[in-house]
Structure 1
Amino acid sequence: MVLKLEKMNILDKIIERKKQETAEAESKISVEKLKDSEFFGRPTFSLKETIRTKSGIITEFKRKSPSKGIINNKVSPLDVVSQYEKFGASAVSVLTDEDFFGGSFDDILSVRNHINIPILRKDFMIDEYQFYEAKSIGADVILLIAACLSPTQVSEFTDLAHSLDLEVLLEIHSEEELKHINKDIDFVGINNRNLKDFKVDLQHAADLKNQLPGNILSIAESGIYHEEDFRFLKEKGFDGFLMGEYFMKNENPGEKFGEFVSNVEI
């Protein structure tokens, strides 16, 4: 039985819409046509490399979210991500979901030729077609959200991403989702914010990190609101940090990032 949207949590609503959106996109542009795009054949940048050689912070361009509403819709992607790179970001995450996060493919396309760090296409990946989209717009890394996928899907999507020379960040939030991890995943991100109720718990993420395979790179995601939060998670051994709202809620996100990097002495 199909649930009515009003009875779904926000993640269910997003996935339902994403299925419709992807079907519509594929009916208009075939995979073969995506392969003809300007960026499909470009060599990708490696987050595995930049997470070690730069700040370890994956900055983010995000206009709004279901939990916070409008965060910042007055700045351009190029202005922001250029400064992110200038001040040492290891990568930039760009939201491409339009309905819930105010993003678009243009947010990646408009910056791809202007920065030399990896771009993470941050979206809700539920269909093979989306991986070809990601490659065609110049992404280097894709996000897989365990809450949206089965372990088998994670494995299959990881293989597909790697065949397209895209790295994979798997996001988990619960101990149950540890089973989604496989040996080919490039990074495991632990979301400090529960996608179903948006509660934040940094200690929960730290505890969950201790249960990860020892050879996998770990990323702390979301809910990092203060320099103290960053220091706490760094002390817990996280290799990287995905931060969006902390910078985007400022009038000049790039300058705020530069100030943050200076204060935490990366």
Structure 2
Amino acid sequence: MNQDILTDIIAHKRKEIAIQEAAVSASFLENHIGGTTVTHSMKQSLTASSTGIIAEFKRRSPSKGWINCEADASIVPHSYELAGAAALSILTDELFFGGSLKDIRNARPTVNIPVLRKDFIISRYQLLQAKVAQADAVLLIAAALSKDECMSLAKEAHALQLEVLLEIHTEQETDYINEYVDMIGVNNRNLGTFHTDTENSFRLAEKLPKDKVLVSESGISNPETVIKLREASFRGFLIGENFMKTENPGKALNEFINQLQSAL
């Protein structure tokens, strides 16, 4: 997505959050967190996994339009787990990606692997929503935040026992990495052109701290790429469109993992 689209998304997100918070207060959400704690560590799951696939549930995108408008969050994530996914990424943005928090709520009872809330998170309120929906981790996008906002949200996420995946696109954004970041995601999609190039992950790998779990995001469509990225210290591989565009995303993931394990 280009920077203009990102600006549009964030502007819309601010309005959306204001409407949601007017309907359901932050204190109401806080009271409904109850005793929920992180029971599934995404960081640990990726580190322990031989494949590290983060299978994404995504119905549409701003660049491709509808990918799989009929996809059912109570079915696809479960099929991903059965196929061998190490973790799940669930898009909860409605306007641009066709998702909602309901997708996490529908998926959660069907799976026992970590769930990442993938959205444009700019407010503590969204962290509370993620926790109540029983996500295990949240995505923070450097391009959508200031460094201070990133630090504050990452710290708050940890206070809520949510792990943090920080998404960066450029070497300059490595300045956003802080002590509360559990995983660093390198997005291979150019923000200006929509073009995806996995070389971005290889370029940035050497610049990233060795004590963080590294995740490569977007543009991964063959097992050979995963093998090369693993050699470059990546442990997580976020793949969505490649599976979601098929009739049976779980089956597509299963075939991908079988190919990957044969090649390892």
Under a length normalisation based on structure 2, what TM-score does the superposition of the two structures give?
Answer: 0.94
Cα drift, residue 48 of structure 1: 1.6
- State yes or no: 1:43 paired with 2:44: no
Give, in angstroms, the shift of residue 150 of structure 1.
Answer: 1.2
Aligned to 1:115: 111
Q: CA deviation at 1:221?
A: 0.4
Offset at residue 8 of structure 1 (A): 6.7
Contact 1:62 1:102 (C-alpha < 8 Å) held by counterparts? yes
- Following superposition of structure 1 onto structure 2, how do residues 31-180 of structure 1 map, counting pairs within 5 Å? 31-37=26-32, 40-44=34-38, 45-54=40-49, 55-180=51-176
Residue 243 of structure 2 is aligned to residue 241 of structure 1? no
Partner Cα separation in structure 2 for residue 167 and residue 138 of structure 1: 12
Distance 1:115 1:246 in 2: 21
Q: Secondary structure at the match of 1:93?
A: strand
Aligned to 1:212: 208
Q: Which runs of 5 or more residues in structure 1 are unaligned? A: 1-6
> Could you tell me which amino acid in structure 2 is paired with residue 43 of structure 1?
T
Which amino acid letter does the alignment assign opposite residue 46 of structure 1?
A: S
Query: 1:34·1:40 contact (CA, 8 Å) conserved in 2?
Result: no
Instruction: Give the share of equivalent positions with the same residue, in percent.
Output: 45
Q: Secondary structure at the match of 2:166?
A: strand
| The 10-residue stretch of structure 1 (192-201 or 62-71) with the greater mean CA deviation from structure 2 | 192-201
Query: Where does structure 2 lack aligned partners over 5 or more consecutive residues?
Result: none
Q: Please name the residue that 1:9 is paired with.
A: 4
TM-score (norm 1): 0.93
Residue 4 of structure 1 corresponds to which residue in structure 2? none
- Partner deviation per Cα, 1:13-72 (whole Å, 9 max, x = no partner): 1001001001111111011211233x6532221112211223311111000000111111
Q: String of CA shifts for 1:143-192, please: whole Å, max 9, x gaps.
A: 00000111111111111000000000000000110100112210000001
Are the structure 2 counterparts of residues 127 and 196 from structure 1 closer, same or farther at C-alpha, using a change threshold of 3 Å?
farther
Distance 1:159 1:118, change over 3 A: same
Distance in 2 between residues matched to 1:182 and 1:238, nearest whole Å: 19
Following the alignment from structure 1 to structure 2, what is the Cα–Cα distance between the partners of residues 145 and 40? 28
Distance 1:51 1:179 in 2: 24
- After superposition, residues 186-265 of structure 1 pair within 5 angstroms as 186-265=182-261
Which whole-Å deviations, capped at 9, do the CAs of 1:74-103 have from their partners, x for residues lacking one?
Answer: 231121111111122111100000000000
The amino acid that maps onto 2:36 is: R
Match of residue 25, structure 1, among 1, 5, 20? 20
Decide whether the 8 Å contact of 1:66 with 1:101 is kept in 2. Answer: yes
Change (3 A) 1:98 1:40: farther
Contact 2:91 2:118 in 1 (8 A): yes
How far apart in 2 are the matches of 1:102 and 1:119? 18
Return structure 1 stretches of 4+ with deviation > 4 angstroms. Answer: none
Count of residues in Structure 1 that have an aligned counterpart in Structure 2: 259
Contact kept, 8 Å, 1:40 with 1:138, in 2: the verdict is no
Where 1:142 maps in the other structure, the secondary structure is strand
8 Å contact 2:186–2:200 — kept in the other structure?
Answer: no
CA shift, 1:229, in A, is: 2.5
